[in-house]
Structure 1
Amino acid sequence: MIKCRKISKGYAEGEVILTKDPLSFLGGVNPEKGTVIDSKHELYNKNISGKVLIIPSGKGSTVGSYVLYQMAKNKTAPLAIVALEAEPIIATGAIMAGIPMVDRPEEEILDLLHNGDIVAVDADSGFIKILKQN
Structure 2
Amino acid sequence: MIQARILHGGEAHGRVLALDAPLSFWGAFDPRTGRIIDIHHPQCGSCITGTILMMRETRGSGTAPGGMAEAIRLGTAPSAIILVKPDINLAIGAEVAEALYGKTCPVLAVTAADYAELARHAALAISGDGKITPLPRDSFPG
Scaled by the length of structure 1, what TM-score is found? 0.88
Counterpart pick for 2:134 among 121, 130, 133: 130
What is the CA-CA distance between 1:132 and the residue it aligns to? 2.2
Distance 1:19 1:111, change over 3 A: farther
Secondary structure of the equivalent of 1:24?
coil
What is the CA-CA distance between 1:113 and the residue it aligns to? 2.0
Matched, 1:50 2:50: yes
| Stretches of structure 2 lacking an aligned partner (at least 5 in a row) | 98-103
Secondary structure of the equivalent of 1:60?
coil
* RMSD after superposition: 1.9
Matched, 1:109 2:109: no
What is the CA-CA distance between 1:104 and the residue it aligns to? 2.2
Contact 2:20–2:43 (CA under 8 A) maintained in structure 1? no
2:126 corresponding residue in structure 1: 121
Distance 1:39 1:106, change over 3 A: closer
Report % sequence identity.
Answer: 28
| Stretches of structure 1 lacking an aligned partner (at least 5 in a row) | none
Distance 1:105 1:125, change over 3 A: farther
Contact 2:31–2:71 (CA under 8 A) maintained in structure 1? yes
Q: Which has the higher strand share?
A: 1
Structure-1 separation of matches of 2:23 and 2:63: 13
Distance 1:10 1:112, change over 3 A: closer
Structure-1 separation of matches of 2:87 and 2:118: 22
Structure-1 separation of matches of 2:65 and 2:91: 8
Moved segments of 4+, more than 3 Å: 105-108
